[in-house]
Amino acid sequence: MSSIHLVLGGIRSGKSAYAEDLTAEIADGRAVIYIATGTVTDDEMAERIRRHRERRPADWQTVEAPLNPVGVLREAGIEDGSAPVLLLDSLDGWVSNLLIEHEGMEASELEARTVGAARRFASYVGEIDADAVVVSSEVGHSLVATSSLGRQFQDLLGTVNQAMAADADAVTVVLAGIGMRVKPTARQC
C-alpha cells in the first residue's frame, strides 16, 4: 500500500536532511529514487545542488525532473509495480520552475495547472504502489514578498502545499532540524 509523507520547513531548516533520513528509514532496503527538481541558475544554486548530491547514499538513483516528475519517471520505466521509495526534493523548486516556464499565464490557469501536476504526482505514487517523501518550503511563516513574481510564487506554493498536505498520509514540519508530526494529529489517530 502506497503512502505520501510531506516534509515542510523554512529555508535552511534541515528539511531535506530530515527527509533523506526518513526516506532511508522507510526504504528499509528497497530501491530509492531521488527526484531532483532544482536547476543550476547561478554559482550559489550549483553549490546547494552539490551539497545535496554529496549527502545522498551512492545506491540511490537520481532523476532530474525540473518540470514533469511523473513524465520523467514513466520514461525511466518506473511503473512496473516494483514499489520503490520516491524522494521528491523539492516541491517548491518544481513550483518555481513551472512559474518561470509559464510566465505570463493567467494566475488562475497557472494555479490549476500546478495543483493538477502535484495531484497527478500523488495519484502516480498510488498507481505504482510506491511510498513517497515530498519536501517543500513552508511559505506561510515568511514575509510577504516585495515583488509581484515573489508574491505569485508564495501564493502558488501555499496552494500547492495545501493540496499536497490534503493528499498526504503524513505531514511533518521541520524547525531547526527537528521534525514535528502535524498529520495525522492525535484526534485523527
What's 32's domain CATH number? 3.40.50.300
The answer as to whether 123 is a domain residue is yes
pLDDT at 186: 53
Q: What is the dihedral of CA 171, 176, 177, 179, to 10 degrees?
A: -30
> What's the distance, CA 117 to chain centroid?
12
Q: Give the residue numbers annotated as catalytic, written as ranges.
A: 52
Sign of CA dihedral 48, 8, 136, 55: positive
Mean pLDDT of the chain: 91
- Summarised one tens digit per residue, pLDDT across range 70-105 is 999 999 888 766 678 999 999 999 999 999 999 999
Q: What pLDDT does residue 80 have?
A: 64
Given this model, what pLDDT does residue 3 score?
94
In this predicted structure, what is the pLDDT of residue 48? Answer: 83
Q: Mind listing the pLDDT tens digit for each residue in 137-177?
A: 999 887 888 899 999 999 999 999 999 999 999 999 999 99
Q: In 10 A of CB 178, how many CB atoms?
A: 12
Q: What is the DSSP-derived secondary structure letter of residue 176?
A: T
Q: Do the domain assignments include residue 189? A: no
Q: What is the rounded distance in angstroms from the CA atom of residue 157 to the CA atom of residue 163? A: 10
In the chain, the number of structural domains is 1
Instruction: Tell me the CA distances in angstroms from 165 to 4, 14, 104, 137, 172, one per residue in order.
Output: 9, 19, 27, 12, 10
Confidence class for position 188, pLDDT limits 50, 70, 90 = very low
Note whether residue 87 is domain-resident. Answer: yes
Closest CA to 131 of 85, 79, 162, 100: 85
CA distance 189 to 184: 6
User: Within a domain: residue 188?
Assistant: no
Domain that holds residue 81: 3-183
Is residue 34 assigned to a domain? Answer: yes
